[in-house]
Amino acid sequence: MKEKDKKFAFWKYDLFPYILGGEIKLIKDNGWVEIKGYDGFCFRQIKIVSLKEGLEIYNKLEELKNKRQDMLELFDEKLRLQFPYFFKHSDEK
């Protein structure tokens, strides 16, 4: 398959960012897709784009996921500093 003909699909997922994606290996007659690297699995796609566009979107989603994780870690640290007595182990005084 020529590079310009390659496609990328996105499907819903239960963890943030609630979307996964990958390069399409096969589009089935029912609209479900087989994805490279997910052998034996089929996904109900919610969006199909060119491989180039899909990789750009996927990389942006990964950046957002990493930023979110950094913010959550910062929040957790602030919470522990503000309320340390909630986070002491039972064997600590």
What is the domain count for the chain? 1
Q: Check whether 32 has a pLDDT greater than 60.
A: yes
Section 42-71 average pLDDT: 98
76 domain residue, yes or no:
yes
51 domain residue, yes or no:
yes
pTM above 0.85, yes or no: no
DSSP assignment, residue 82?
Answer: H
Instruction: Return the residue matching tokens 């909630």.
Output: 86
32 domain residue, yes or no:
yes
Percent of the chain with pLDDT over 70: 95
67 domain residue, yes or no:
yes
92 domain residue, yes or no:
no
Structural domain of 37:
3-83
DSSP string, 18-80: SEEEEEEEEE-TTSEEEETT-TT-EEEEEEEEEHHHHHHHHHHHHHHHHHHHHHHHHHHHHHH
Predicted pLDDT at 90: 60
31 domain residue, yes or no:
yes
pLDDT digits 0-9 by tens, 62-92: 999 999 999 999 999 999 999 998 888 766 5
91 domain residue, yes or no:
no
